[in-house]
Amino acid sequence: MTRCCAYILFGAACLLAASGTGAEPPRLEAVLSPPETPYHRSVLYAVTVEATPETRYEFPELSSADKTIEVCKTELISVPVSEGTLRRTQYYRINPISPGLYRVPPLSISWQEGGERGVLDAPSVAFTARELTEAEAEAAARFAGITAPDALLPEKGFSWPAMAGGAAAALAAVAILFALWHYRRQQASPVAPPLPAWETALNRLRELQQRDLPGSGKLELYYVDLSSIVRYYIEDRFQIQAPEQTTPEFLEAAAARGVFSEAQEEFLTLFLRQCDRIKFAKLEPDVEGAREHFKQVRLFVKDTIPADVEMEMVESAA
C-alpha cells in the first residue's frame, strides 16, 4: 500500500478584535501524516503557528465527538524562524479504534498579542485506517496476549465453581470470536501480497517526480514528501521506527543498529537535517538542489536493496 504525507496549508481565518492595530495576523499550517495507515498504528497531526515571540497561543485539546478515535496532545516545539518571528508546532497523536475512514474535527487556536486577539481555525481533515496485511497481523499478534505475572495468581477466597464458570465464559467468547474471524476470512476477497519496501519506495519516487513540485515552486511540500518516502522506506526495510522519531532519535537508532555504511549514515544525517531546516526554520532551497536530493534518495534506495534480490533483477533484465 502506497503511503504518503497529507500536507494542508491554508491561510488563517482570524477573528480580530475591533481594536486591532493592523499588524499582520499569525499564519497557520497543519500537517497530517500519513493519511492512510494500518489501524493498529497512530497518525501524527502537527499544527503550526508562525508569529512574533510575544504572541500568546492556546492550543486546545482535540477529541472526537463520537469517541471513534483516541487523541493525545503531545509535545510543543518552538523554533526561531528569523528575527522577530517564532514558529510553534503542537503535535497530536491520533489512534484509530478500528478500520475505517476517520475525520479529525476542526481546531480553533486562540491567540493574543498586545491589544489584538483572534482565533485561527484549522478545518476538519480525514485519514483512513485500513485492515492489516497478513504480515502486519502476524507481527501484531506477537505482542498480544501478554499477561502480567500477578494476574495469574488467584485472589484470596476464590472458589472453584466461580473459576470454572469464568473459564466457560472465556471459552465461549473465544469460540464466538474465532467463528466471526473465520466467517470474515471466507467472505474477504484475496489480498495481494505487499510489495517489497524498495519497490514501494521507487514507485513513490516515480510518482513524486511526475508531480514536478519543484517546477511549480512547491519546494517545501516536495521535501515533506521526499523525507516521508525515506523514513517509511527505512521503517519497512530495516524495522527502524523512523516516522515516529525525531531526526536525532532516528539517527541515533540507525547508528546503534549498524545497518548502514558510513557514507549512507552521512547522507541520511545531511539530508534529514536539511529537511528539518526547510520545514521548521523556513530555509528556502533551490530547484537544482531539490532535484539533486531526489537523485541521492533514489540511489540510497537502490544501494540498500538486498544483494540476492538485486542479482535477480539484473538477471531478469538481461
For position 59, which CATH number holds? Answer: 2.60.40
Asked if the model's pLDDT at residue 13 lies above 50, the reply is no
d(CA 224, CA 221): 5
| Side-by-side strand order, sheet with 69-82 | 6-9, 27-33, 43-51, 85-96, 69-82
Domain boundary among 72, 103, 130: 130
98 belongs to a structural domain: yes
Bigger pLDDT: 147 vs 293: 293
Q: What amino acid occupies position 159? A: S
What pLDDT is attached to residue 180?
65
Question: What is the sign of the dihedral through the CA atoms of 313, 265, 277 and 123?
Answer: positive
11 lies in the same domain as 124: yes
Q: What are 126's strand-pairing partners? A: 103
DSSP letter at 4? -
Mean pLDDT of the chain: 76
Residue 106 and residue 208 share a domain: no
- Tell me: pLDDT of 23 over 80: no
Residue 143 maps to a domain: no
List CB contacts of 75: < 8 A, sequence separation 6 or more.
91
Beta bridge partners of 33: 44
Q: Is 67 among the domain residues?
A: yes
Residue 310: Cβ-neighbour burial (10 angstroms; 0-12, 13-18, 19+): middle
Instruction: Report if residue 190 sits inside a domain.
Output: no
Query: Does residue 237 carry a pLDDT above 50?
Result: yes
SS3 97: coil
C-alpha closest to that of 94 among 28, 40, 30, 29: 40
Render pLDDT for 270-296 as a digit per residue (tens, 0 to 9). 999 889 888 888 888 899 999 999 999
pLDDT band at 153 (very low <50, low <70, confident <90, very high): very low
- 112 and 217 both lie in a single domain: no
Residue whose entry in the numeric block shows the C-alpha cell 486591532: 20
Burial class (CB within 10 angstroms; exposed 0-12, middle 13-18, buried 19+) of 16: middle
User: Cβ neighbours of residue 4 under 8 Å, at least 6 residues apart?
Assistant: 34, 35, 36, 204, 225, 228
Domain count, the chain: 2
Considering the domain architecture, whether residues 22 and 110 belong to the same structural domain is answered as: yes
What span, in angstroms and rounded, lies between the C-alpha atoms of 18 and 117? Answer: 9
H/E run at residue 180? helix 160-187
In this model, does residue 92 exceed pLDDT 60?
A: yes
From 81, 106, 130, the end of a domain falls on 130
Least confident of 155-169, 191-205, 238-252, 256-270: 155-169
CA pair distance 224, 245, nearest whole angstrom: 15
- pLDDT tens per residue, range 32-83: 888 888 877 778 888 888 888 888 888 888 776 656 677 778 778 887 877 7
Cα angle vertex 142, ends 136, 146, to 5°? 140
* Segment 112-133 mean pLDDT: 85
pLDDT digits (tens, 9 = 90+) for 159-212: 555 566 666 666 666 667 666 666 666 555 555 567 899 999 999 999 999 999
**pLDDT of the residue at 161:** 59
- The answer to the question of residue 172 being in a domain is no
Domain boundaries, position 73: 6-130
Q: Could you report the per-residue pLDDT of 125-140, keeping only the tens digit for each? A: 888 888 888 777 766 5
Q: Does the residue 276 lie in any domain?
A: yes
Cβ atoms of 220 and 291 within 8 Å: the answer is: no
pLDDT of residue 12: 40
Tabulate helix, strand, coil % of the chain (nearest 5).
45, 25, 35
Asked whether residue 224 is assigned to any structural domain, the reply reads: yes
| Residues 10 and 125 grouped into a single domain | yes
Residue 313 in domain: yes
Residues 109 and 203 in one domain: no
Domain closes at, from 108, 130, 152: 130
Residue 288 is predicted with a pLDDT of: 92
pLDDT, residue 47, reads 87
pLDDT at 73: 81
